[in-house]
Structure 1
Amino acid sequence: MPKPRIQAIIQSAAIWNKTMPSTVKTEKSWLLALFGLPFFCVGAGFLLFSIVPTLHDAARMASWPETPGTLLQAQLVTSRSSKSTTYGVKADYLYNVGGLDYRGSRVAINTGNDNVGGFQQSLGSRLENARINNQTVSVWYDPSNPEDAVLNRDIRWGLLGFKLIFVIVFGGAGFAMIYFGLRGTKTAATPASGAQPWLQRPEWQGGVIHSNAKTGTYFVWGFAVFWNLISTPAAFFIPDIWREKGALALLVLLFPCVGLGLLFWAIKSTLEWKRFGATPMTMDPFPGAIGGDVGGELLVNILYQPSTAFEVTLSCINSYISGRGEDRSRSEKVIWQDQGYAEVHPSMHGTRLQYRFEVPDGLPSSEEHSDNYHLWRLNIHGDMPGVDLKRSFEIPVYPGKEKSRRITSLSTQHQPSGHVQLRADALLPLTRTGSRVDIYYPMWRKPLSAFAIMLFGGIFSGVGVFLWKQATQEGFPLNLMSGIFGLVGSLIVLSGLYALFNSLHVRFDGHSLTAVRRILGVPVSNKTSAYPLIRSIEIKQNGSSQSGSTHHIDYQIIAKTASGTIVLAEGLNSHSKAELVVDYFEKLTGLKDTQALSAA
């Protein structure tokens, strides 16, 4: 057999071994589903047999006419046990409708005893006083059935919220257990899975990876429908709440407004899915290589337009759970990030987007999901008329030196039509006068993010002030909580003010550099170093923010000297851009020549 033919067979076998499909098994947990069924029934029972009837009665009673009534009996009923005391109100009353006398006994929308708030005590005391003093009371009756009447038709929002806790906590937990039990867990089995851990994940089989767009759309619709079913009925009673409770109605209005926002989000997700379709992505190489390339191509169901820019962001993320008990929550921290643009090519079924990044050694590889693990996420965003393209993929990335076989252009270097080629001097707010270079970051350079920080801190501080006022009645524990909220909120507000009003001026005069940090024009830091005293110029992560599944990183460039560090540049949103700026500064200060001589 000719030698080239043998090499081709060996290469094909290697590729097949790396991407061969595995047997995917789904193991359902009937025990988990059965365990969750009672919890779901409790939540559904509170919703269907208590909350919904309450809102239904309140809605129909809102239009009932009023007539005077005479109390025959009125009594506050107290029931005590070893752990609690509950209250209820009993009453009998006479009223006249259309010349006919009727007798009623329903006191309020909700019947039975409870100890939620002081509603029962207040209503019972008022009715007892009215009976003793022979005063008439207001009776609201159903004009189509006058025998159906009530003395108080107020919605008890506190009691409704208390029952809603059971719906959300018990019903939500039960539904989740039933859903995950019946959906089951997919596992992949392959003889080589020990050496190739990416083959253990069914969603990574064959190198074709799908985004979470469809599942995310279903989740958003489910959450939006559930939220609106609970919150929308409250909107009908806002005028009554305003008349009786004043500004409390604005708090109640907040829940339907959130529901409208969720519906808008769900509709937007649906339109995006219908327009762009499934967008399958094929990786090249598969898996992505730490120390090599992370690349691939994405098929999008849109007409080919070469001028459209699609931004691609590759992030290495640490996902972890913080807190304890009921306060546990999952957070994400971006470890490394690079950004660029995809190359756009025509395809038989629309448009093909290609991307490729060079990933440095030393970064964490993809790990199995746990309380603390690392993952690699690829985000693609394209601004388009109507609905924008937004897709997010969790992809396998492991140590290796593999390079892309089909994709030659680097996303960090590719610039779509109309975009200026990336250069360090274009990334910096730079002016050059002879041999002097000035870099100036003015105040108000990121006003929206600064105001968002201050708003967040202001909310914390506002909670602290509210708790301080409540502490006069509740005692020391609220004083402690108000102090914590007030301190954290104040620090956040101060950080927002600093972000808004600080400026940075860095000057290179050919022999030394000077960096001056000012707040409202007043110098607060002034650092200087001669070029020969600079030991290194490095990239430093200065912070990050998150919007949905997309992280936005902020890199700084710092100079390390014998006396400390000096910030040279900031606000760079990708590692490759930061590397361009580092290279520029190394040439500007002569550090690159010094390093070359040292290496020689």
Structure 2
Amino acid sequence: MEISTEPTKKTAKGCIILFGLMFFLAGLFVGSIAFHGVFKSLIAKNWVPTEAIILDASLKVSRGDEGDTYRATGQFRYEWGEHIYTSDQVYFNKTADSDRKFHDGNVREMKAFKSSNRPMTAYVNPKEPGEVVLYPKIRWGMFSFMMLFSVLFAGAGAFIMAGGQYAGRVIERENKRKLLHPDRPWLWKDEWQTAEIKNSGKAKFYGALGFSVFWNLISAPLWFVLPEEIIEKKNYLAAIGYLFPMVGIGLAIWTIQTYKRWKRFGETNFILDTYPAALGHALQGKLVFNKPLPLDTVFEVKLSCIYKYSTGSGDDRRTVEKIKWQDEQHIPLSANRNADGFSIPLRFKLPADEHPSAWDDGDREYIWRLSVKSELTGADFVQEFDIPVFDPNVYKIRIPASAQLDASVTAEEVFTYQGDWQKTGVQAFEIPGGHAYYFKAARHKTMGVGLIFMVLTFGGIGIAPFFSDIPIIFSFFFGGFALLLGWFACLVWLYKTQIETTKGALSVRSGMFRGSYKTVNVDDLDSINMTSTASSGNVKYYDINAKTISGEKIKMASLVLGKRDVQALIDKIKSDLGMPIED
């Protein structure tokens, strides 16, 4: 991995701080305007009311890509002592805003006084008679909105600047360690200084809390702004804006769950026996939790090699995580806990041909992630650890004898869990002459609900051009994507499969409704295997396929969870059919 240069590091740090400073100053500027208006209004309580003749009144409209803004403008004449003054100060705050109803009402009032030749009350500073205002009242709603904007932007700017400073210090420490340990890259990172990989529930909670509060402060005003836009202005497309505060509700729920996990489970660590882990050998260690768990707890443990990369630029820039390799186990606490009662041993065989841990390229990163999950009453146990994994052919790694493996050792020989076909969610029953395995529809409801939500979102955007002046090309793009997602949603909600095994034949009925029916003689089967077809987060989904000697492919099941459980089901089906089971 290439070592970053000092000038590049300082330039990146300076750009981040400068970017944050722009946000910080923008927030301070808006806050100063808001406070200036309130300050002047409070002082004006002691000003003297006097009669003013309205000379002109109009509503100034400023058009913009982000929406129109409004401001009541006018001119009036008043007398003070022996002098006649003319002023155009309708408000103390001279900025325009989106509250048309407020400004329109004031313009109508000024025009009414003008048309009836009646004087309107203005408020004059007796010490400086040239200083006057027509509407001195504080607009607390607008003040709150401006202060919210000020706090958010100034806070975001401060956070970005602090993040830039912190990132700069991390890079400085990392670069120093690169010079000290050029042949041991696992010592470059703060979190890999020892074999104990920590997972801080407290840090996760505060991170979730900060992001949730920030998002909700930004999106909460939409609950009050959108009804007028939709109901009074008939701008139904604006209803899409409700997505943002709804996401805020989801973030709040996520924050509460994170807090409950932290309070229930405290800090959980993973201690490596092989430090760092070596490709082609066993990753072994123990998961240490500091609070007791129910004895019937079963851990779902996954080890994944994730390729994380960034694509696009500007507003189109996005980060993608792709699972390159994954293995998993189900570990019962009661049968596997160590003598201390607060730890369990973990062991995986690492492939020799996968990419080691890497992170120096700003747009690409290879992460080895250990995920441990268990569904419990109340808060679920969910922990993740990024593990240092390196190539022993490139770096000198001390590998304990218990972790040394050669190429002939299979993953199944490394740990005892061989998979449980019943955990795939299949329903098994006997039929005349054999067995049947049924995968019902709607097995992944969370995924299905998420897809429906996305279909409604993209579909709503797709039909928007028919009710607005948005270019029709958006309908083809978003509408087409909504149709594609809709088809996939139908598969998730409606697709079902029944597999029948009898001596001498395999029968499969699959589809969304009645489906297709296919029967193949065992002698005509070449293989039954699984392929990974989709992933979501750190979850991989598998299809089970049969292949005939002639090359025909028959889909037996779709979107099945659990690599080893799926393999166990395949072995069970092969056993029913009398086919050889591979070691």
User: Is the structural similarity TM-score above 0.5?
Assistant: yes
Distance 1:158 1:481 in 2: 32
Instruction: From 57, 72, 83, give the equivalent of 2:54.
Output: 72
Alignment of 1:233-248 (within 5 A): none
What's the secondary structure of 1:280's corresponding residue? strand
Q: What number of residue pairs does the alignment pair up?
A: 536
Instruction: From 380, 388, 394, give the equivalent of 1:388.
Output: 380
Name the stretch that deviates more: 369-378 or 157-166.
Answer: 157-166
Q: State the AA in 2 paired with 1:39.
A: F
Q: Deviations over 1:167-198 (max 9, x none)?
A: 69877655543442355443274799666543
Instruction: From 264, 289, 295, give the equivalent of 2:284.
Output: 295
- The alpha carbon displacement at 1:289 in A equals 4.2
Distance 1:317 1:441, change over 3 A: same
Distance 1:264 1:458 in 2: 22
Q: State the AA in 1 paired with 2:536.
A: S
Distance 2:35 2:457 in 1: 31
Instruction: From 481, 488, 491, give the equivalent of 2:484.
Output: 491
Distance 1:260 1:513, change over 3 A: closer
Q: Deviations over 1:423-452 (max 9, x none)?
A: 569864222335323222233333443232
- Contact in 1 for aligned 2:122/2:133 (Cα 8 Å): no
Distance 1:46 1:244, change over 3 A: farther
The match for 2:531 is 540
The match for 1:581 is 569
Distance 1:157 1:245 in 2: 24
Distance 1:256 1:451 in 2: 18
Distance 1:414 1:566 in 2: 29
Distance 2:188 2:489 in 1: 45
Is the counterpart of residue 437 in structure 1 residue 430 in structure 2?
Answer: no
Is the counterpart of residue 460 in structure 1 residue 458 in structure 2?
Answer: yes
The match for 1:280 is 269
What's the secondary structure of 1:149's corresponding residue? coil
- The alpha carbon displacement at 1:578 in A equals 2.4
- Contact in 2 for aligned 1:447/1:500 (Cα 8 Å): yes
- The alpha carbon displacement at 1:41 in A equals 3.4
- The alpha carbon displacement at 1:281 in A equals 1.3
- The alpha carbon displacement at 1:557 in A equals 1.8
What's the secondary structure of 1:443's corresponding residue? coil
Distance 2:145 2:473 in 1: 26
What's the secondary structure of 2:186's corresponding residue? helix
Distance 1:564 1:138 in 2: 89
Name the stretch that deviates more: 461-470 or 85-94.
Answer: 85-94
Alignment of 1:143-222 (within 5 A): 149=136, 155=142, 174=161, 176-187=163-174, 189=177, 197-211=185-199, 213-222=201-210
What's the secondary structure of 2:547's corresponding residue? strand
- Contact in 1 for aligned 2:53/2:120 (Cα 8 Å): no
Distance 1:54 1:246, change over 3 A: farther
Distance 1:137 1:211 in 2: 71
Q: Where does the alignment leave 5 or more consecutive residues of structure 1 unmatched?
A: 1-25, 62-66, 96-102, 416-420
The match for 2:389 is 397
Distance 1:376 1:165 in 2: 35
* TM-score, scaled to structure 2: 0.73
- Contact in 1 for aligned 2:280/2:349 (Cα 8 Å): yes
The match for 1:557 is 544
Name the stretch that deviates more: 171-180 or 288-297.
Answer: 171-180
- Contact in 2 for aligned 1:70/1:135 (Cα 8 Å): no
The match for 1:337 is 326
Alpha-carbon RMSD across the aligned residues, in angstroms, is 5.3
Q: Deviations over 1:373-414 (max 9, x none)?
A: 332111122344544332111112345796884999989755
What's the secondary structure of 1:210's corresponding residue? strand
Q: Deviations over 1:12-65 (max 9, x none)?
A: xxxxxxxxxxxxxx999666555444433332233233158649979x99xxxx
- Contact in 2 for aligned 1:235/1:256 (Cα 8 Å): yes
Is the counterpart of residue 500 in structure 1 residue 490 in structure 2?
Answer: no
What's the secondary structure of 1:506's corresponding residue? strand
- The alpha carbon displacement at 1:292 in A equals 3.3
Name the stretch that deviates more: 380-389 or 322-331.
Answer: 380-389
The match for 1:378 is 370
What's the secondary structure of 1:437's corresponding residue? strand
- The alpha carbon displacement at 1:514 in A equals 2.6
What's the secondary structure of 1:459's corresponding residue? helix
- The alpha carbon displacement at 1:149 in A equals 1.9
Q: Deviations over 1:282-320 (max 9, x none)?
A: 113333344432222122111364333333222222212
Distance 1:277 1:203 in 2: 18
- The alpha carbon displacement at 1:505 in A equals 2.3
Q: Among the aligned pairs, what percent are the same residue?
A: 23
Distance 2:201 2:256 in 1: 13
Distance 2:317 2:292 in 1: 45
Distance 1:504 1:269, change over 3 A: closer
- Contact in 2 for aligned 1:117/1:158 (Cα 8 Å): no
Distance 1:339 1:357 in 2: 8
Q: Where does the alignment leave 5 or more consecutive residues of structure 2 unmatched?
A: 1-5, 42-48, 63-67, 79-85, 124-131, 394-398, 405-410
What's the secondary structure of 2:268's corresponding residue? coil
The match for 1:513 is 506
- The alpha carbon displacement at 1:78 in A equals 8.4
Name the stretch that deviates more: 162-171 or 323-332.
Answer: 162-171
* TM-score, scaled to structure 1: 0.71
Q: State the AA in 2 paired with 1:543.
A: A
The match for 1:40 is 20
Distance 1:310 1:506, change over 3 A: closer
Distance 1:298 1:424, change over 3 A: closer
Instruction: From 74, 91, 100, give the equivalent of 1:91.
Output: 74
- The alpha carbon displacement at 1:498 in A equals 2.6
- Contact in 2 for aligned 1:379/1:392 (Cα 8 Å): yes
The match for 2:345 is 354
Distance 2:88 2:483 in 1: 54
Q: State the AA in 1 paired with 2:28.
A: L
The match for 1:4 is none
Q: Deviations over 1:88-122 (max 9, x none)?
A: 65325699xxxxxxx996545851479x8989997
- Contact in 2 for aligned 1:70/1:94 (Cα 8 Å): yes
Q: State the AA in 2 paired with 1:440.
A: Y
What's the secondary structure of 1:45's corresponding residue? helix
Name the stretch that deviates more: 146-155 or 350-359.
Answer: 146-155
What's the secondary structure of 1:455's corresponding residue? helix
Is the counterpart of residue 308 in structure 1 residue 297 in structure 2?
Answer: yes
Distance 1:151 1:123 in 2: 16
- Contact in 1 for aligned 2:529/2:545 (Cα 8 Å): yes
- The alpha carbon displacement at 1:480 in A equals 0.6
Distance 1:121 1:426, change over 3 A: closer
Q: Deviations over 1:119-175 (max 9, x none)?
A: 99978975785566348899999xxx9986259888599999999997698776555
Distance 1:533 1:385, change over 3 A: closer
